Amino acid sequence: MKYTIKRLLGLIPILLAITFLSFGMMRLAGSDVVEQKMFNTGQVVSEAQLQAAKAELGLDRPFIIQYGSWLNNLLHGDMGVSYVSGKNVFDSFVEKLPATLYLTVASIFLTVIISIPLGIISAVYKNKIWDYLIRFLSFIGNSLPNFFVSLVLMYILSIKLKLFPIISKEVSLQSVAMPAITLAIAMSAKYLRQVRATVLDELGKDYILGAKARGVKFSITLWKSVMRACLVTIITLLALSIGSLLGGTAIVEAIFMWDGVGKLAVDAINMRDYPIIQAYVMWMAIIYVTVNLVTDLSYRLLDPRIRLEDAAHE
């Protein structure tokens, strides 16, 4: 508990640093929302009008003042309004979250059920036909870019077999299938190699032979000992993926018109919509810190060596 609180308190300086940096970097980008709007619409406006528009949004003030005022509003629970849509930032963000969460859960679930069994089979039957076949598939999966997989899936599953819609009109199980499968194929291809390597490493340990010498079934050793030992590595990998998936997957979201935070972030960056970008950056920081914390806590749960060592230091 003490550990968890300590880690959550550690989030404060991280958030301050990261929002400050992103605030600074966006200003270094050279243009702002007013100029972008002008550029996009092709309107010609006078310098005075431009300055007035900037002043209205407070963009004429020094950078540090802008940051201070943004931070002050944030501390009062106000994340501001989008420069582009004029909508409340928090509301627009929350609006996009369900789609992202749904896609994350679906694709991680698919990845787990594909990569873990295949990785284990590949390791247990090392250098046998199953291993070669699985590794070949993994190689193919790794080599195909997401956009290509999306197009192939669209062609086969949507156009030919008519199983799933090409463009998602709503957040449903049917519409999440295609983007989730696309993401899961790439992740599974990567993961199953990791799972295979981890399981192989565990299978080489003395305790496998020890359990065998005691007459314990291999399947029991595999499930109770090997899998538990491998979970630490698998969870680390999954946590990193969950982090990046929660941050949105711009390409896949764009291809399938999946209205998640990835698309929101890319649009905001293109338009220099600072309040939205700041919210996105904070969201990412919170995700990574939380995911890392959950991962560390799970290590302690899974590996008594870590748990007892940490307990001894506390």
Partner 1 sequence: MEILKLDSVQITYDGIPVAEDISFSLNEGEILGVVGESGSGKSTIIKAVVGLLNSGGAVKNGTIRYKGENLLEKSERQLRQIRGKEIGMISQNASTTFCPIRKVGDQIYETLRAHGKISKREAKTKTLDIFNKLNFMDGEKVWNSYPFQLSGGMNQRVAVALAMLLEPKILLSDEATSALDNISRNQVISELIKLYDMGTSVIFVTHDIDIVESICDKVLVLKDGRMQEYGSAKQVLFNPQNQYTKHLIQCTRQLRGTGYGKAAGNEV
Residues near partner 1 (CB under 8 A) are 205-207, 209-217, 220-221, 224-225, 228-229, 302-305, 308
User: Rounded to the nearest whole angstrom, what is the least distance from the CB of residue 125 to partner 1 in the complex?
Assistant: 14
Whose Cβ is closer to partner 1: residue 231's or residue 268's? Answer: 231
What b/e sequence results for 274-303 when a residue is b if at least 16 CB atoms lie within 10 Å of its CB, and e otherwise? bbbbbbbbbbbbebbbbbebebbebbbeee
User: Rounded to the nearest whole angstrom, what is the least distance from the CB of residue 123 to partner 1 in the complex?
Assistant: 13
Q: How far apart are CA 246 and CA 250, in angstroms?
A: 11
Other Cβ atoms closer than 10 A to 123: 23
Whose Cβ is closer to partner 1: residue 78's or residue 201's? Answer: 201
**Residue listed under structure tokens 């990261």:** 18
CB 183 within 8 A of CB 249: yes
**Residue listed under structure tokens 């002050």:** 72
Beta bridge partners of 81: 88
Burial of 305 from C-beta contacts in 10 A (0-12 / 13-18 / 19+): exposed
Whose Cβ is closer to partner 1: residue 60's or residue 309's? Answer: 309
**All residues at 6 or more sequence positions from 262 whose CB lies less than 8 Å from its CB, including other chains:** 100, 247, 248, 249, 250, 252, 253
User: Rounded to the nearest whole angstrom, what is the least distance from the CB of residue 142 to partner 1 in the complex?
Assistant: 28
User: Rounded to the nearest whole angstrom, what is the least distance from the CB of residue 237 to partner 1 in the complex?
Assistant: 19
Whose Cβ is closer to partner 1: residue 46's or residue 127's? Answer: 127
User: Rounded to the nearest whole angstrom, what is the least distance from the CB of residue 208 to partner 1 in the complex?
Assistant: 9
Whose Cβ is closer to partner 1: residue 117's or residue 304's? Answer: 304
Listed residue (17, 20, 30, 16) closest to 272, CA to CA: 30
With the C-alpha atoms ordered 150, 151, 154, 157, is the resulting torsion angle positive or negative?
Answer: negative
User: Rounded to the nearest whole angstrom, what is the least distance from the CB of residue 203 to partner 1 in the complex?
Assistant: 10
Whose Cβ is closer to partner 1: residue 56's or residue 309's? Answer: 309
Beta bridge partners of 88: 81
